[in-house]
Structure 1
Amino acid sequence: MKKAIQVLPKITLKQLAVFVSIYQTGSTSRASEELHLSQSAVSSALTELEARLQMPLFERVGRRLNQHPNAHPVYVQAQAILGQSLTLEYYYKYQAGQIHIGASTTIGNYVLPPLLAKLYEALPDANVDMYIANTQEVVSEVEQLNIDIALVEGMPRPTDMKVIEQRAWRTDTLMVFAKRDSKWLTEVAAYNHDGDCYQLTVEQLAKLPLLVREAGSGTRQIIDEQLLQHLPDAETIIAIQQSEALKNMVSADIGLGCLSQHVIQAELEAGTLVQVKVAGIDLTRTWWLVWHKSRHQSPIWQTFIDIIQHG
């Protein structure tokens, strides 16, 4: 009598999507929110995938899930499979001119609009979806294949490099700035009338309130690396979520600020805000193009790349 052979069910895209989401978020509850599934459905999909692969992907410690060594190679393959399935699913939409563009806050608000105008001029029927958030959030959307290409101010984390391609795009300069005739500067800073700016030493800046973007933003990454490390004894650092709010608070003379030159250009030209040069500090940074290695590079994708490379 022949022994019955157990036939396990095939792996499904849903199981792979659940696994990738758990891998990225670290929990079944956050994965269920992200995928709009019940937590029990998420847990079942993971259990079924582990049974089909006949290997554990996570180690359960209490209510926590820790990645098993098996998880990473499966994650890489799952990302590639999901990317290929999306390429197939959205093939005709891509041909019709659909593109999902992500941008970190400064680029999205101040630099991207004229580039999009050029895209619409080249492709009047282009269907463009936009996602604007801080660098960390945008890169996360690229990882999850929700965005075709993104323009970000900060360098993606080293852990992102396994699935993300990046290319240096252009340079930008951050500026420390203040309200003209600010109460914080009139007594401590030298004013350069020719350059129309104040001049401070690092020691002087450390004693003044400084408003900066929140952790996770590309602007904050550069400020941490190229400015705040020189201010270990800074007395007051205030983190602000939005560039416009930060700029308005500096205009109200709550303290000094540090943002991209693009954000404060109009106010510098109007003379309501002035640059503050800090001796020995260079706040030049690189802006990056990033995309998922598995993402389909459609004709509209190539057109947009040409525009942003030469626009």
Structure 2
Amino acid sequence: MRMTLRQMQVFRAVCDSRSYSRAAEEMSLTQPAVSLQIRQLEELVGQPLFEYVGKKLYLTDAAEALLKASADIFGRLESLDMQLSDLQGSLQGQLNLAIESSAKYFVPHLFAAFRQQHPEVSLQLTVVNHAQAVRRLSVNRDDLLIMSQVPSELSLEFFPFLTNPIVAVAPPEHPLCQRDTLRLADLGAYPLLIRETGSGTRKACEEYAHQKRAHFAQTMEVGSSEAQVEGVLAGLGVALLPRHAVRQELALGVLRELPVEELPLQRSWCVVYGRGKRLSPVAAAFHSFIREERSAINALAARFAGSASALQ
């Protein structure tokens, strides 16, 4: 089987984007060129790699197997490059890091602190929701992944390193802001802005509301935490959001954290990878940094959560 690395790169781009046209844009190719590369790969494999159901592109079993193998191939090449750099006396290479979307507020600062120690390391950062994170873990797509709810059905190594407090917010003029104390159930009288299906924050909040017997009859689904924030600012309703995601709005006073007795809901950010996975030198160094640099992480916790809320 004479596959080329370029074919594998194009294939991985299609898998990530679930679109030939978006993969072409990402790879700076034309769509016919992407189609040709995939067609040639399918001839080598002897099976179709993708199929359309309605207007959505899905991976076949052959594509899933090829994606897993490609992750191993590229991972070995990157590890070799880093090892050669390490032999020259400096840590070099790229950290391929996937993060759940609400972690995007503090992870760049965390990586910046790490890069002060290793200035020749670069970052490829992919932002996903919880469902996408689980899928990427199952196919070993990234060096490391940062997520809140670690799936128990996969064999994983994980280390909790920072709390992710989820709070209720509303604009200052909202009637609930006039109350001194609230119960979670009190929010049910107002529309609640929620994330899309597959969001880890939404899953955590739904489970917690069910546990506390809080029912929300009116919900509006939006596709990002930024859209939730804007919706609350516009007066469309209230929202349950990571405090990290609204730190600026709370500091400016354009949003208020509601005094709900059962909140904040404390979740833990974890750095995760597959059990048995051999980490590249860069990934191993970043993982060690997270485990050992407690003062830097405590400083981030204080900045983004408003208090020293890192795990003890």
Are 2:76 and 1:81 aligned? no
Instruction: Provide Cα deviations, 1:240-280, integer angstroms capped at 9, x if missing partner.
Output: 7345x75576567654332224445687789873433266x
Per the alignment, residue 222 of structure 1 pairs with 204
Structure 1 equivalent of residue 105 of structure 2:
109
Aligned to 2:286: 304
Return the structure number with greater helix share.
2
Distance 1:223 1:71, change over 3 A: same
Q: Which range moves more in the overlay, 230-239 or 298-307?
A: 230-239
Number of the residue aligned with 2:35: 43
Q: Residues 20 and 292 (structure 1 numbering): CA distance in 2 closer, same or farther, change over 3 Å?
A: farther
- Shift of residue 302, structure 1, vs aligned partner: 2.7
Name 2:114's counterpart in structure 1.
Answer: 119
Match of 1:169 in 2: 160
| Aligned residues of 1:175 and 1:275 also touching (Cα < 8 A) | yes
Q: Unaligned 5+ residue runs, structure 1?
A: 1-8, 192-197
Which deviations, in whole Å up to 9, do the C-alpha atoms of 1:113-167 show, x marking residues without a partner?
A: 2x445424544x3434363745359848889988643423455797xx69xx551
Instruction: Tell me which residue corresponds to 2:2.
Output: 10
Alignment of 1:1-311 (within 5 A): 10-58=2-50, 67-88=59-80, 92=84, 95-100=90-95, 101-110=97-106, 113=109, 115-116=110-111, 118-123=113-118, 125-129=119-123, 131=125, 133-135=127-129, 139=133, 148-153=143-148, 155=150, 167-170=158-161, 171-179=163-171, 182-184=174-176, 186=178, 191=180, 198-202=181-185, 204-215=186-197, 217-227=199-209, 233-237=216-220, 239=222, 241-243=224-226, 246=228, 250=232, 255-263=237-245, 273-277=256-260, 283-291=265-273, 297-310=279-292, 311=294
Does the C-alpha gap of structure 1 residues 226 and 88 become closer, same or farther in structure 2, counting only changes over 3 Å?
A: same
Question: By how many angstroms is 1:175 displaced?
Answer: 1.6
- Greater alpha carbon shift after TM alignment, 177-186 vs 75-84: 177-186
What's the offset of the Cα at 1:88?
A: 3.9
Structure 2: gaps spanning 5 or more residues: 295-312
Q: Describe the shift of the 1:173–1:126 C-alpha distance in structure 2 as closer, same or farther (beyond 3 A).
A: same
Q: Which has the larger radius of gyration?
A: 1
Q: Note the alpha carbon deviations across 1:151-200, whole angstroms, 9 max, x for none.
A: 23455797xx69xx5514244331223456742454xx5x3xxxxxx222
Cα distance in 2 between the residues matched to 1:138 and 1:96 = 30
Cα–Cα, structure 1 residues 306 and 45, in superposed 2: closer, same or farther, change >3 Å? same
Letter in 1 for 2:256: L
C-alpha contact (below 8 Å) 2:137/2:274 kept by paired residues: yes
Give the alignment's TM-score, normalised by structure 2. Answer: 0.66
Q: Is residue 168–residue 260 contact of structure 2 (8 Å, CA) maintained in 1?
A: yes
Distance in 2 between residues matched to 1:64 and 1:250, nearest whole Å: 32
Q: Count residues in correspondence.
A: 285
Specify whether residues 167 and 21 from structure 1 end up closer, same or farther in structure 2 by C-alpha distance, changes over 3 A only. Answer: same
Measured in 2, the distance between the counterparts of 1:249 and 1:55 equals 46
Instruction: Please give the alpha-carbon distance, in whole angstroms, between the structure 1 residues aligned to 2:234 and 2:67.
Output: 49
Distance 1:248 1:56 in 2: 43
- The CA distance in 1 between the partners of 2:17 and 2:108, in whole Å, is 29
- The CA distance in 2 between the partners of 1:180 and 1:219, in whole Å, is 23
Contact 2:75 2:280 in 1 (8 A): no
The answer (yes or no) to whether the contact 1:209–1:256 under 8 Å persists in 2 is yes
**Structure 2 residue matching 1:237: 3-state secondary structure:** strand
CA change 1:30–1:141 in 2 (3 A) is farther
Q: Which amino acid aligns with 2:21?
A: S
* Native 8 Å contact 1:209 1:238 kept in 2: no
